[in-house]
């Protein structure tokens, strides 16, 4: 399976998913004009990746400075896919990184954390 990579822009995050290392990274800001369209290839890649896993450990690092509400909906879909995989025995660890002066990022991370039961979701203050 190929690496999934998108370079960071002013309104979209850097996305780097490495299937060999089982590492998924998203960082930057997320307020694309059309979040569903922008993130659709990422979610399709993730679905295909998760279908071919058996007992691997997945590590997810997310560091978002800012994201809009439509991006938030996409991230919930992203987390739902990971939660489903964890329910089938895949070990998933998510590290939600935030800066101490970014209360919104921290609060959003806490809300995502509350919604997830099967994955290990850690809030990491930078």
Task: Give tens-digit pLDDT for 21-60.
Answer: 999 999 999 999 999 999 999 999 999 999 998 788 999 9
Give the integer Cα–Cα distance in Å for 48 and 29: 25
Q: φ, ψ for residue 54 (rounded to 5)?
A: -125, -80
pLDDT, tens digit (0-9, with 9 covering 90-100), for 68-119: 999 999 999 999 999 999 999 999 999 999 999 999 999 999 999 999 999 9
Q: Which two tokens stand for residue 69?
A: 């509400």
Strand partners, 67: 30
Q: Are 81 and 47 in contact (CB under 8 A)?
A: yes
Q: How many CB atoms lie within 10 A of CB 31?
A: 16
pTM confidence score: 0.94
Q: Domains of the chain (ranges plus CATH)?
A: 4-125 (3.30.750.24)
Give the integer Cα–Cα distance in Å for 123 and 107: 10
* End-to-end Cα distance, the chain: 32
């Amino acid at each position: 399976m190929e690496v999934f990579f998108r370079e960071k822009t002013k309104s979209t995050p850097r996305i780097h998913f490495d299937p060999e290392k089982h590492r998924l990274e998203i960082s930057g800001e997320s307020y694309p004009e059309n979040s569903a369209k922008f993130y659709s290839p990422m979610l399709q890649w993730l679905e295909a990746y998760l279908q071919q896993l058996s007992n691997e450990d997945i590590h997810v690092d997310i560091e978002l400075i800012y994201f809009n509400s439509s991006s938030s909906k996409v991230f919930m879909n992203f987390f739902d896919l990971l939660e489903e995989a964890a329910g089938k025995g895949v070990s998933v660890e998510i590290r939600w990184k935030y800066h101490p002066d970014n209360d919104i990022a921290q609060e959003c991370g806490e809300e995502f954390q509350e919604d997830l039961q099967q994955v290990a979701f850690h809030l990491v203050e930078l």
